[in-house]
Homo-oligomer: A and B are copies of this chain.
């Protein structure tokens, strides 16, 4: 990003807009100048092209033509780097103005945009699993979602609890997408394992699963994702009207 031509000047400050460093310390041709932003950029790039597993401190550092130790000036540890990556990506989620007449549709759209944003970075969604989405940009999305539920007439208490669950479904769906993608590599093994498990079991231990096998495997990820959201919203509405 930028910076190749930046004028000379200042060492990374903790404050202010992270601009360029110039330090031609080592014969560095045209590389990015090390800043929290540049580090997150590099990490996201690696994640997008490979996967989250490939985002190691060493790999990120190598991408920036430096050693792993240098990153720790700008990033407390790997965990925080991953959080910042997720935060950044959440910032890409566009927020439509709330239209109470279309609130349900808007919830679907918002969560789908969030899903797509995460799916662009294989593995990143797993960072969001189970811990509070308490970074700045994620909170903005959560706030908007809360606004949508309130606009739909959901009671404040239900809405407040609901905005935990909807991102949860979204996140889990994204993780599932990641796994299914990874199955491209190890898929046969997994399928074999499952089939082996199945054929080793007495069929009458799974009467329902076997009977409705077709329904179980039907639909793609998107359909199932929107189904889950729709059911949850329907549940919220049903409660509110009671």
Whole-angstrom distance from the CB of A184 to the nearest CB of chain B?
A: 14
**Is A159 at the interface (CB under 8 A from chain B)?**
yes
Whole-angstrom distance from the CB of A117 to the nearest CB of chain B?
A: 17
Whole-angstrom distance from the CB of A78 to the nearest CB of chain B?
A: 14
Contacts of A147 in B (CB 8 A): 207-208
Q: How far is the CA of A201 from the CA of B142 in the complex (A)?
A: 14
- Find A212's partner among B129, B160, B234 (CB 8 Å cutoff): B160
Mark the stretch among A4-12, A59-67, A216-224 that contacts chain B. A216-224
Number of copies: 2
Q: How far is the CA of A239 from the CA of B147 in the complex (A)?
A: 24
| Minimum-distance CB pairs A-B, first 10 | A235-B235, A130-B175, A160-B215, A231-B235, A234-B235, A146-B208, A134-B194, A238-B238, A143-B206, A160-B216
Residues of A within 8 A of B (CB): 125-126, 129-132, 134-136, 139-140, 142-144, 146-147, 150, 156-162, 164-165, 168-169, 171-172, 175-176, 178-179, 190, 193-194, 197-198, 200-201, 205-209, 212, 215-216, 218-219, 224, 227-228, 230-239
